[in-house]
Amino acid sequence: MTQVSAAGGARRPRAGDRAARALIAELARHNGPKTGLLVGVDAGSAALAQMSKALLPGDTLTVVPAEASAVRALRDHVEAQGRWVAERVRVVETLAEADAADVVVIGEPLTGTAEEARATVEGLAKYLAEGGVLCVAAGLTGGAAAELDRQGALFGVGTDVVVRNVPPLRVHRLRFTPADAAQATRVAPAYRPSSVPVTRGMHIDSNGVAAAGIALSIAALARVARPKSRLWLVPALAAVPVAAFFRDPERDVPEDESAVVAASDGKVLSVERLRDDRLGPDEFVRIAVFLSVLDVHVNRAPVAGKVVDYFVTDGGFAAAMKPDAEHNVAAYTLLDTAHGRVAVAQRTGLIARRIVQRAPVGALLAKGERFGLIRFGSRTDVYLPADAAEPLVAPGDRVLGAATVIARWR
């Protein structure tokens, strides 16, 4: 395996607690028994600490140190964590002693050239169980970063940028063999480090942080350019409502396996049976929800499933509550589930012109998991197999994303 170290003897970047949580998120979200493999760490690794906390009954973790000389220190460290951890964590001297695992994590960021990063990824891919995920980080620039971006384009099932790390890191989750869609029912919603917590139950999406930052930057520039003017107050005061538009509250997702939840907050516009040529010949029940500018605009998966397709259709920008919005620009995310094919359409509106979709093909989404958002007023349509789902809402009803049950599987 390629050594995870910085070229020229420079101090290599480390993954802090926030980056480590992103690295081990794939293991932490699996509720059933699973196997993990953590490589390239020492006793002080944040990834080792986070993975140890994430272990559940039935889980096992194999740890490979960054240097062979660190084996004794790692074993002593694991023993010091107590019986619970010691019974589930095995420290080996070399990668050759490890077995295939459901989740493989490189505990520290990759550095060096693209060729070195490629050799590391290809070497560790051999230790993935069928449908397993390799989790790896690198800086935002450099040869290793470019190679991981390339790997992510081919095999990525999720990525996060961890700004609050020194230096900032991009974490990639790579899957080289297909996962069974049924696995989606056994995972929890993924941890997203770029969603900034404001209170225990409320976050601000990274898009909101960026937008508020732009507004404050404009205010600062206006203050410098025209110190006697109060014009700078306009963008400064706008920063708060702009950030609030991107609020991302925690929601309690119904545990009932037969429940289908709303993909967004808003008001139900229509519930109808129809066929959509964009989705093939099957008949669907479509539940359309309008989001005003005051609603939460984070979109969530209505059911657990595997993303099998994603496409964008061209169109106009009619007001989202109008019938003409049927022909607006829309992004379709198709999920394979135990009950058939489910689709979520994110439709633009009169003001909304930007759709964000963060779930690449191959990703597993838990029910209620965040997968994107639409900026400003918009509409989401949930398509359910007509013969498999019974709608439970009607036009005019108010719904909350991930919390309101909008249909039930028959």
CA distances from 90 to 69, 78, 363 (A): 16, 8, 29
- Concatenating the DSSP letter of every residue in 216-244 gives HHHHHHHHHH-TT--TTHHHHHHHHHHHH
Query: 276 φ, ψ to 5°?
Result: -130, 115
For residue 104 the two structure tokens come to: 């493989």
d(CA 305, CA 261): 13
- Other beta carbons within 10 angstroms of residue 54's beta carbon come to 19
Name the DSSP class of 375.
S
For residue 392 the two structure tokens come to: 């439970």
Whose CA is closest to 65, among 91, 87, 44, 84?
A: 91
Tens digits of pLDDT across the chain (410 residues)? 444 443 334 457 899 999 999 999 999 999 889 999 999 999 999 999 999 999 999 999 999 999 888 999 999 999 999 999 999 999 999 999 999 999 999 999 999 999 999 999 999 999 999 999 999 999 999 999 999 999 999 999 999 999 889 999 999 999 999 999 999 999 999 888 878 888 989 999 988 888 899 999 999 999 999 999 999 999 999 999 989 889 999 999 999 999 999 999 999 999 999 999 889 999 999 999 999 988 999 999 999 999 999 999 998 888 888 888 888 899 999 999 999 999 999 998 887 678 999 999 999 999 999 999 988 768 999 999 999 999 999 999 999 999 999 999 99
- Helices then strands, each counted (H, E), the chain: 9, 24
CA angle at residue 22 from 92 to 43, to 5 degrees? 35
Q: Which residue numbers are catalytic?
A: 378
